[in-house]
Amino acid sequence: METAIDRGETIAIMEPLRIGDGSRHRPALTELGVELAAKSAGFRRSLPDSVVSALAELVRSMNCYYSNLIEGHNTHPIDIERAMRDDYSDEPRKRDLQLEARAHVMVQKWIDDGGLDGGRAATLDGICEIHRRFCEHLPDELLWSEDPETGQRVCIIPGKLRFRDVKVGYHVPISAGALPRFLQRFEAVYSNLKKAETIFSAAAAHHRLLWIHPFVDGNGRVTRLMSYAMLREALDTGGIWSIARGLARQESKYKQHLIACDGPRHGDMDGRGSRSESALAEFTEFFLQTCIDQVDFMEKLVQPDKLRERIRLWCEEEVRTDSLPPKAGLVLDAILYRGELPRGDVPGIVGTGERQARRIVSALLGAGVITSDSTRAPLRIAFPASLAGRWMPGLFPEAD
């Protein structure tokens, strides 16, 4: 293996890592952070825990789709859902992308289960573990990165920092040997912040990790997963919204902000660090506003009355085509209203005997629209990606 060369860069060239308390940008950005915290908490409180759980599962596929899309990999959530059931395409390239998507979803599930809680998301150990967990499940073909200038293929080692110099567009990241001290500084600044300051500084951490570029490849996905984890813990989001959709839908603006943050300070009115504080403040505003927009979007999408009406219309169509038995809609509606439904309550809801009630439950389970932990456990709603176009229009594009 090559030896990582240290060119002696000082960590000062990464400053500022945070927008200072006395910055002229601080008041307006603080207001955005407070608004995001209030809206995210209100959205989470408005949903039963069972709906939060079902929605978080769908958001994992959505987040994976949009984060990979930014990298030029288009794997639709329906194909991601199939991959989670070990149902892969016969086409090698499509199968590889399904495996990549499955790896991404598994990492986010680990994050949702608390894998990075306690401020670990912004630590060197946490960042490397995200990369390791993501890359160790990739097919061999996706574990190679090609140098755009030399054409040389470089192997990606899961969880290992790069050992060679790289160039990303016009940006030349720090030398490989300098990575440990820059990442130690990164961890010291971002991993011990209080919740309010974590929300405020999430955008800065997002850019600075991309600027450091710690790995041969996978930096974009790792950074967005880190940001997801930071915001999930600081805001207690429940995993029911994600910034990745907003970033992908504004990809050009997102990347323009990142490039601007790479730039040097512009005069004495632009902070006191080597990098531009104004550019970092503008990216922070964009980042927080994008988060707010995504919370608003998801909240409107799952408004109880509108969601129940869309599900009711779908269910009526399924009954008319004999895809679901009559009165299946009553069970779905009861689950949505209550959050979860004991199986013993189904006969009373549909006004039939237990045999017909079991038939209705079996059909709904087969359609993937309800779920249960066991044959005796209560029934809960599920949000399959295949029905997102009907139940949650606009969440992601329709499959081809």
Extents of the domains making up the chain: 24-301, 304-391
- State the Cα–Cα distance between residues 97 and 266, nearest whole angstrom: 42
Cα–Cα distance, 207 to 281 (Å, whole number) = 11
Which one of 1.10.10.10, 3.90.930.12, 2.120.10.30, 3.40.50.1980 gives the CATH number of domain 304-391? 1.10.10.10
In tens digits, what is the pLDDT along the chain, a chain of 400 residues?
568 899 999 999 999 999 988 999 999 999 999 999 999 999 999 998 889 999 999 999 999 999 999 999 999 999 999 999 999 999 999 999 999 999 999 999 999 999 999 999 999 999 999 999 999 999 999 999 987 777 789 999 999 999 999 988 889 999 999 999 999 999 999 999 999 999 999 999 999 999 999 999 999 999 999 999 999 999 999 999 999 999 999 999 999 999 999 999 988 878 888 999 999 999 999 999 999 999 999 999 999 889 999 999 999 999 999 999 999 999 999 999 898 999 999 999 999 999 999 999 999 999 999 999 999 999 999 999 999 999 999 998 876 6
Contacts of 37 (CB under 8 A, 6+ apart): 196, 199, 235
Distance CA 288, CA 8 (A): 34
* Model pLDDT, residue 169: 85
DSSP 3-state assignment of 85?
coil
> The pTM is what?
0.94
For 24-301, CATH gives 1.10.3290.10
The SS3 assignment for 146 reads: strand
On the question of a common fold for 24-301 and 304-391, the answer reads no
Residue 102's alpha-carbon distances to 38, 243, 337, 368, in angstroms, are: 32, 19, 32, 19
Q: How far apart are CA 363 and CA 357, in angstroms?
A: 10
